[in-house]
A and B are shown apart, each in its own frame.
Chain A
Amino acid sequence: MDDVLTAVLQRHNFLTFVIIFLWGFYIMLTRYNLVKKLVGMYLVQTSVIFFLVTISAKRGATAPILLSTTAPIDPSAYANPLPHVLTLTAIVVGVATLGVALALCSAIYQTYGSLDEEEILKKLE
């Protein structure tokens, strides 16, 4: 039990990811308001992006731009740029999804006069 606990606490970045992910998932499951569901969805997306950043972070590393072409290259001095680029793309995808979702929400509000899931379901029948 102690081993598990120390293993978890040593990886506090993963722990944070799990908490944010589950928090978002919980909001998506339990809230009836559609915009609140979207907040939960965005938390889930953000948690995955956070995970991508956290596995690529390095202490004391900097942007991968070589200042001198002759000096030997020390890999530990530079951060890996690829996960950061992936993060950027994932953020763009997330924003596009949120845009479509908000447009749908506003259309739903104009059609049903409510954003509450139960009220909408009542009107659908």
Chain B
Amino acid sequence: MSRHFPALLFLIPLFAAISMPVVCLKHRGWSRPIALGALSAMVGVSILNLSNIIENGEIRYAFSGWASPIGIEWVADVLASLILVALSLLGLLALIFAGPTAPKDLGGRIVHFYTLILLLISSLTGIVFAGDLFNLFVFLEVAALASYALVGVSGGKALFAAFRYLILGTLGASLYLLGVSYFYAASGTLNMADIAERLPHLLTSKAVVGGLLFMFIGLGIKMALVPFHAWLPDAYSYAPESVSPILASLVTKVALLGWVRIIYWVIGAKVIMNEIPILLLVGVFGSLAAVIGAVLALTQTNLKRMFAYGGISHIGIILIGISQGNATGFVGGVFYLLNDAVMQAALFFLAGMAICHYGVRTVEDFGRVGRQAPWLTGSLVIISLGMIGLPPTGGFFGKWYIILGALEAKNYLAVGAILLSTLLTLAYFVKLFDRIFRDNSSSSDALNHEPPLQFKWCLGLTSAAIMLLGLFSDPIVSLLLTQALPPGL
């Protein structure tokens, strides 16, 4: 049974998504219990799957029994299973958060919303597990289609943002597919492990280097790396409040994980450090993203846009960690990816609560209600500690290992970029706190009723997770160091 957990993890949300429009045709109210049930089952199975894989080693799942180079293969190793636990937990929290907000945002489209969310989660599962380059492309596109529709589902301003997202996202997918066909032309196979085996004989081929570059640009658009990030702030800030937490915390990070798979598991650590200097390129783009994203965040006046740019700068920090070419930097990058997923979810829960419950959209207005909203301000303190990277939180340990890795690789420019981006992050949170604590206007009467229980739960749990990831950073990092490192690192 435990051998089939990876396929089960994909099939649970997929079946729930497919059956939802049929089952909920007459009973619209059933959509929420079905979605919550499916995601809770997924959380359970993903935890069982992780403990099974830590004990018994990775599972290579061959669909319909067709063995690997011919059939489609999924690789469930410690890295994928760990990310999947985070993915299903954050998906469940995002659904809980959507309870009070979704009816307000979406009205009659509530069934569409739950169907698309489940479809998005199942395709993200596919990206995390994919062991085949073309399979990765298909799941990237399914995830992207679900996100375009989710951004546009409430209509209004979001429609145009969704259209731009679609145009850029499709361009990225086409470039990725072009890269895949270069790889296929050079190696004659699409299975990641198979390409990795054949690649050492193909390094003189320009098709491999060209294909790798096209894949980088394509996935760079998907993960909103800095020169290609233009779609993200509009899409995330105009998206309905129930949608933006799950998009911000998961979609870009999972695309980044796909890129990590390609450079470390397909191309291989030895090749990228000695033959093809792709890590240098990734590191430079990462440093630029870390600094430019934070500068742009500092200039924003809209709350959601500020957080969206914060997410862009953190993608850069993760890439810096990945690109150091040593175990410390790699583990730091992956650990920071987990932290960033939690922090982005928390930030957009916070923004969603500010908009839905307090009717506040800008930094200016946020200061006005901040003092009268203890849940908002309390969780903002914890999240900002994590985003800046101060000791008791997971963000600190992620940055710490990334900086250690960069020092080990004697890459002082990357260290400088992280420190600069940390200072800028501090600056935009100080801007927020300044508004809250300097504002002396008397409380308005609209603030007296309590926020809904679901908001408190979501904010409380994500803030607790930011702290817990810091307190338990040692076991997680040592697990990653011993069991999740790519071969040859």
Contacts and interface: CB of A to CB of B under 8 A. Distances in A.
B62 interface: no
A30 to B, nearest CB: 13
A111 B152 CA distance: 12
Interface residues of A, number: 31
A97 B141 contact: yes
Contacts of B184: 52, 55, 82-83, 86
Contact of A41 (B148, B171, B177, B181): B171
B409 interface: no
A3 B457 CA distance: 68
Contact of B149 (A45, A48, A52, A100): A100
Contacts of A86: 134, 181, 184, 190
Interface string B151-185: 01001110110110011001101100110010011
Nearest to B149: A100
Nearest to B171: A44
Interface residues of B, number: 27
Describe A's contact surface by its main secondary structure. helix
B160 A120 contact: yes
A124 B134 contact: no
A107 interface: yes
Interface string A59-76: 000000000000000000
Interface in B124-148: 134, 137-138, 141, 145, 148
Nearest to B180: A86
Nearest to B165: A104
Interface string A110-124: 011000000011001
B166 A104 contact: yes
A100 B177 contact: no
B185 A105 contact: no
A38 B105 CA distance: 28
Nearest to A53: B181
B145 A96 contact: yes
Contact of A51 (B145, B152, B167, B181): B181
**Which one of A34, A48, A101 has the highest number of Cβ atoms from chain B below 10 Å of its Cβ?**
A48
Interface in A31-56: 34, 37-38, 41, 44-45, 48, 51-52, 55
A107 B148 CA distance: 13
A35 B177 CA distance: 23
A101 B134 CA distance: 23
Given A51-B181, A86-B134, A104 B162 contact: yes
A104 B148 contact: yes
A58 to B, nearest CB: 14
Nearest to A89: B138
A123 to B, nearest CB: 9
A108 B181 contact: no
A93 interface: yes
A28 B167 contact: yes
A55 B185 contact: yes
Interface string B425-443: 0000000000000000000
Give the 4 A-B CB pairs with smallest separation, nearest first. A93-B141, A55-B185, A52-B181, A108-B159
Interface of B: 134, 137-138, 141, 145, 148-149, 152, 155-157, 159-160, 162-163, 166-167, 170-171, 173-174, 177-178, 181, 184-185, 190
Interface of A: 25, 28, 34, 37-38, 41, 44-45, 48, 51-52, 55, 82-83, 86, 89-90, 93, 96-97, 100-101, 104-105, 107-108, 111-112, 120-121, 124
24 contacts: A28-B171, A38-B167, A48-B177, A52-B181, A52-B184, A55-B184, A86-B134, A86-B184, A86-B190, A96-B141, A97-B141, A97-B170, A97-B173, A100-B148, A101-B163, A104-B148, A104-B163, A104-B166, A105-B163, A107-B155, A107-B159, A108-B163, A111-B155, A111-B159
